[in-house]
Structure formats: structure tokens, C-alpha cells
Amino acid sequence: MPAKSQPDKTRGFLIPIGGAEDKIGATRILKRFVKLCGRRPTIAIIPTASRREDAGINYQELFSGFDAAATPILRFARREDCEDEAALATLKSCDGVFITGGNQLRLSTTIGGTSVARLLRRRNADGMPIAGTSAGAAIMPSHMIAGGEEGATPHAGMVSLAPGLGLVNKIMIDQHFRQRDRIGRLLTALALNPFAVALGIDEDTAAFIGPDNVLEVVGSSTVLVLDPSEVRHSSLAEAEHGEPVSITNVRLHILTPGMRYNINARSVEDIE
């Protein structure tokens, strides 16, 4: 569950990115994240999701070029690394955190339930922005989409869920959405958990979720929003593995850059 905000604190932004964000052109998403972290910020980079030894270095260079004062890489390779006092001290003092892409199960099995996970929830509740791309986006909610199959038709067994970091409990996130044809697995996840709003985030696109739980789309493509608040029926409980699943009265929104969606009210904000 998300940590509770103190009366004198404003919760920090969460910025799930659909992956493959622009790093050589306008770089709108990454520049906006760095700006949210403050003037000359220290941004900690967590590359745990990736097996690449050089994971995180490109973000170090990018953030430094965007006027970040320091960009330490925290290499949590084992669960015991998540109790390292020096790494925890960095997380306690930094101005923002960026979680890279890779495999979200590597993130959840390494960081989940550790002092790092608890501290990330606490720092975000106290105002620190946290961004994540691809697997780093998927890990943010309490209910994490851990894997699944491609395709447009939801069916039993199409998606697997696992506990995420718990930075937010009102949404689920799928990434590389349109590029990897993931609407079927997002609908299946919604059938499994018809409480949370489900976000399908395209590549080079981000949802900037503010402390008021209003998200704004930034980037070059779209965010698909599935709202289950009026769902009347799902056949998931009766379906055999691999069988198609029915689900009725799902509200669907396609949001383009600049559009805003109120997660609490389950409504699109006024469009100018």
C-alpha cells in the first residue's frame, strides 16, 4: 500500500513511461521529469530490472545534460543489497528516482518487501517524484502485470499478476502497449481486479500522475484508460484456461498528449 502523506507534505509525482522514450530529440518526458525534481537535483537511478552491466549509464549522461547535479546508480543485484546503509542514505537524500526497464519480476523479487521498497513509498509520500520506464513503470502499482500473451481478445490465463511496489493502489499499468498488442491482457487483468483503473501506455509516452491523482499524457502517442467502475459481468471465474473471457460495461478512453484524466473521479478533464 502507498505510504500515508503527512499533513504538511504533498505527495510526489509518479511518472510511468511506456518504454522506448525519446533520448535524442526533444526528450520531453525525461526533461520534464528532471524539472519536477527541482533545481540541480540529485537523481538516483535503479537499473535492477536489466541484466546489462552498463544499464543506467545512458540515463546518467542524459540527466547530467539536463542539469542534474548528481546521478548515482544504485545496483541492487541481490535482496541483501537493499539493506545497504550507503544506498539507503542516497535514497533518503536524493531529489528523484528513475527505475529503468528490463524484467519487472527481477525488480519485484529483488526489491519487494525490503527497506528500499518501504523507503521509496515513504519518499514519494513526502513529495519525491519517481519515474520508471517499461518494467520500471509496471512495478509501480500494488498489482503488477508480471507477464502475459499478446492479442486483442481477453482469455483465461492470458496475464499473470504479482505484487508491485505499492506506490499507488488505484491503477494497473501495461507498457509498450500498442506496439506489442497488449489490450487483451490488460482487459484480462481488469477482469481479475475490477477495482483499479487500467492504463495501457504506448512507447515514448508517459502518464504524469500528480498528487491529486490527475494524470497528464506527455510524449508522442497515447494512453488507453480502462475504467471498471460500471462493470456488470465477467466470465473469468467460469472460463477454462485459454478460453475467451466476456466482460461488460467497461469504459474506455484514448488520451492523446496534453489530455488529462482524474483517477479519483474516473473522468476525463475538460478538453480545451
Angle between helices 57-65 and 28-36 (to 10 degrees): 70
Q: What percent of the chain has pLDDT over 90?
A: 94
Q: Which residue ranges form the domains of the chain, and what is each CATH number?
A: 14-263 (3.40.50.880)
Active site positions, annotated: 134, 176, 203
Q: Which residues lie across from 201 on neighbouring strands? A: 223
- As to burial, measured by CB atoms within 10 angstroms (0-12 exposed, 13-18 middle, 19+ buried), residue 161 is middle
* Cα(30)–Cα(62) distance, integer angstroms: 8
Report strand pairing: 260-262 vs 233-234: unpaired
Query: Average pLDDT of 231-255?
Result: 96
Grid cell, residue 79, equals 535482496
* Cα(139)–Cα(49) distance, integer angstroms: 10
DSSP label at residue 167: S
Q: Which helix (H) or strand (E) holds 224?
A: strand 223-227
Grid cell, residue 256, equals 492523446
Most confident of 3-12, 50-59, 214-223: 214-223
Per-residue confidence band for 243, with pLDDT thresholds at 50, 70 and 90: very high
pTM to 2 decimal places: 0.97
* Cα(233)–Cα(182) distance, integer angstroms: 21
Sign of the CA dihedral running 121, 123, 125, 130: negative
